[in-house]
Structure 1
Amino acid sequence: MKQNSNKKRVVVAMSGGVDSSVAAALLVEQGYDVVGMMMRLWSEPGIGPAAPANRCCTPDQMADARRVAGLLGIPFYVVDVQDHFRQTIVQFFIDEHANGRTPNPCIECNRQIRFTYLLERALALDANYLATGHYAQVVHTPDGYQLRKGLDPNKDQSYVLHVLDQEKLGQVLFPIGGYTKPEVRELAQKFGLPVASKSESQDLCFLGDGDYRRFLQEYSQKASQPGPILTSSGEELGQHEGLPFYTIGQRKGLGISASVPLFVLRKDVARNALIVGPKSELGQQILIARDVNWLSGRPPQEPIPAQIKIRYKAKGIQGMVVDLGNGRSQVTFHEPVFGVTAGQGAVFYDGDVCLGGGIIADGVNLLEDTATSADSVQAVTAQTTPSLQLADIQVHS
């Protein structure tokens, strides 16, 4: 594609929704040479009342994106990523659940699809940037690029963008990161976009009916195997229906009775057992994150204070982060926390600046640590971790 020599080219990842549509409109208004691009992603066949389609790229979504592109006067292309998406993101979702972890597929999609595969397609079109409708901000400082939270605290998506590195931060644009969601809808009306009042989908995009239990039962025999519900001491209290169908900290719906309330403490994949216990056993003050990416490209040489988010919608929790090498970091919280879940992201912040993050490791991952890392964990643990008491446990949502 021939580029207008007087303008920088931006490929906008369009979804047919209001956020990406306004992102494209803002870039056109700012004078960029804008190209719209939409990914056709895999969805499971034969599920749902309508023709099967990924929720991110249904025929209606594609029609809306094409309509917006036509209104803005920009070219529009659809890229078929179905096979790659199925082999990477969907299989990752299945495998993680089968191994007792609770993944965030949006993080992995950003890592492997949106900011790798799609970014490469954009650069192949001689684009200078790939733009998306994420609520986040990239700021260029004398020390390099920073990823900062989006202005709207209710929509901030920096958590799922912690996988970006310095090179990619210099190649991406987040045009709506400095706006709130209501302001984005107002902009859509100002630009005359037909998607201004369009609702948002909250479900996993590749599930035909939004039912992840049914999906795992169909696609992973291992994930849906029943097994024992055990206390920490090994007493069997009942049977679970499949480890993926329970969450750390869950109390209701376990189908067991005891003299005190019992919570899900962890998942023992080797025994296919769900381990439960009283609230006094639930607090966790230390976690190990694997596959850690530091956005500056430079892991800290000393322990650093940070606010750590352990789920997408969770508030940041105060703690210390220590780089252990080999892509691993230890987080020590100032107070015991509730609901630390293997497979979720642990993302580190200094105020509004996203420093980096990784994936919360489970017991199996911890066994893979090097001896040096293990020694570091023990040393920091001994220095910073008091004994846990029931009154110390704080629930974070």
Structure 2
Amino acid sequence: MTQLNSNTGAAILGMGTALPLYSIAQADVAELIASSLQDNPDLARFARRIFKSCGVENRYTCDDSYLGTAETCRYLPSGDRTDIPTTEERMKKYQQEAPPLALEAAKRSLQDANQAPAEITHLITVSCTGQYLPGLDVMLINELGLSPRVNRLPLMFQGCAAGLKAIQMARDVVLGAPGSKVLVVCVELCTLHFQPVKEREALFAASFFGDASAACVIGEPGVKHKHCLSLGKGYSVLLPDSTEDMTWEVGNTGFDLYLSPRIPKLLGAHLEAELGQLLGDSPLPELWAIHPGGRGIVDSVQEVMKLSDEQTRYSREILRTAGNLSSATILFVLESMRRDMEARNEQTKEGVAMAFGPGLTAELMSFTYVPAYSPSYQEAGHAVF
């Protein structure tokens, strides 16, 4: 069998995810939105339809304001809109809620990798939903017991594609500096940026984003590592004529996100050629880790690449149970896939991961799930497992 990841020396050695305390049903969020649109019944009906059809059944939030009624939810008020949280307030909430969530995911990833914190050489922190200094990297160093000399690489305000970008950066670090151990931590509090809806386009973004954190440890695998993901080649590409189709700007009442309904069609038009560039003459892999930026995106990839429902079920399940978690989402998908491979006692399988963000940017990467390290397999010129 052709090995997509021949001779790679980097792998995801452990992963960890974390969700906030508060769970909200999609139907309840839809009612909050609809209640805030009492003066626009047509838009309210459209909101209910979009929320019902986007593939999300449940989401998580760091703010219990969403658990109340439309009268008490400051983010999506049904009446007086003078008390909508300012960007400053939202950033203070981010500074309060993001660190413990990121810390929980990071601890789980270190434990899963059987990795001593003091041996981490590089720390990549990823977020597009909040910023402050000193930031998440300093907090993680202090709370995890990382070396104060760890190389810190913040990757901020890059959107949903940044999680896979960080994984590829970590792979390059390990390949360029053998012996490195890289901790990647993504945390996104997307619900902090919900705002009263004024037009149909804003409903697409409001219909599927949720809060979460995810982390992974990337390094050279050894005999103590099992059920790892060997990282193959990958790259980032800007898709043509799509600059205005996804934008993310700082406003006075949070960050303003615009998602064009053209995005699934744009991906469908360009993705097959880009995957051909990535995979070359290799057969299509069995495993597909697709960033579920919305049901339409997963549908488009499945249709263009002629994938089975089984091959897209990991992405659809994360979307259904937690929503789009921005940069953390691809790690949730990969972790779900890896755990399932382990539970089913699967053997080595090839895969491809993809995530999408403003630009439009597509991050693409090949990988291999391998259940256990095998020096003889390495000597044969394949992956290092």
| Higher Rg | 1
TM-score by length of 1: 0.28
Larger relative contact order (Cα-Cα within 8 Å, sequence gap ≥ 6):
2
Q: Name whichever structure is richer in helix by fraction.
A: 2
